[in-house]
Amino acid sequence: MRIILLGAPGAGKGTQARFLSELYHVPVISTGEMLREAVQSQSKLGLLVKSIMEKGALVSDGIMVDLIKERLKQKDCSSGYLLDGFPRTIPQAEALKENGIVVDYVINIHVHDEEIKKRLSGRRVHLASGRTYHNLYNPPKRPNIDDESGEPLVTRDDDALATVERRLRVYHEMSEPLIAYYRSCAKNNTPHPVYILLDGTKTIDGIRQQLTHSLK
């Protein structure tokens, strides 16, 4: 089972990625984690990545594809893999195809922007312990106060409404052409990959039921 997982920040990709990983016994390959592992490996490719990142430059599509090809040779990918965070653009998707990296399914977990804003901007955190709350879905007993310590809760920078809105704009600018590309492949009866659109506003179990039904 070889899958690309798409979805805006806050759509619940991480939760469903873990579910799919356990269900099909395949690794979740995150580009961020893959870059860190490459640097730590001290391989020739890893050292190249390290030098690029130290300069503050972006790792090219070609190098990213080489890293993915290297990662997919590992034993835990023998039954498949789940790509999270790559491709982000049509040239990256084309690069996967040109390099023989096969994908069976592209799964897009869709959630409307207003719901994403509610999910992310409502988060509150007790920094010392890592306990998390949500103003709507898991509120503390007293507004903005940790239940156990009585200390103030904070909004992380990533969860500030302005930051969430900016992240959503970036996501749409990058993802919408890519989604259109994969939908076009499906309409043209291209053998791989199959495009699947899921309703990310359902419960976690509801999304899992959609997944298992769609991937039969």
d(CA 207, CA 209): 5
* Annotated catalytic residue 131: no
Considering 18, 156, 166, 169, which one is annotated as catalytic?
Answer: 156
Where are the extended beta strands (E) located within the chain? 2-7, 28-30, 81-84, 105-110, 123-126, 131-134, 194-199
d(CA 181, CA 175): 10
Considering 131, 167, 202, 208, which one is annotated as catalytic?
Answer: 167
Considering 71, 118, 123, 124, which one is annotated as catalytic?
Answer: 123
* Annotated catalytic residue 13: yes
* Annotated catalytic residue 183: no
Please give the backbone phi and psi of residue 194, each rounded to the nearest 5 degrees, phi first.
-85, 130
* Annotated catalytic residue 123: yes
Considering 13, 71, 119, 124, which one is annotated as catalytic?
Answer: 13
Look at residues 88, 103, 111, 109 and name the one whose alpha carbon lies nearest to residue 31.
Answer: 88
* Annotated catalytic residue 166: no
Considering 36, 69, 88, 131, which one is annotated as catalytic?
Answer: 88
d(CA 35, CA 164): 24
Catalytic residues: 13, 88, 123, 156, 167
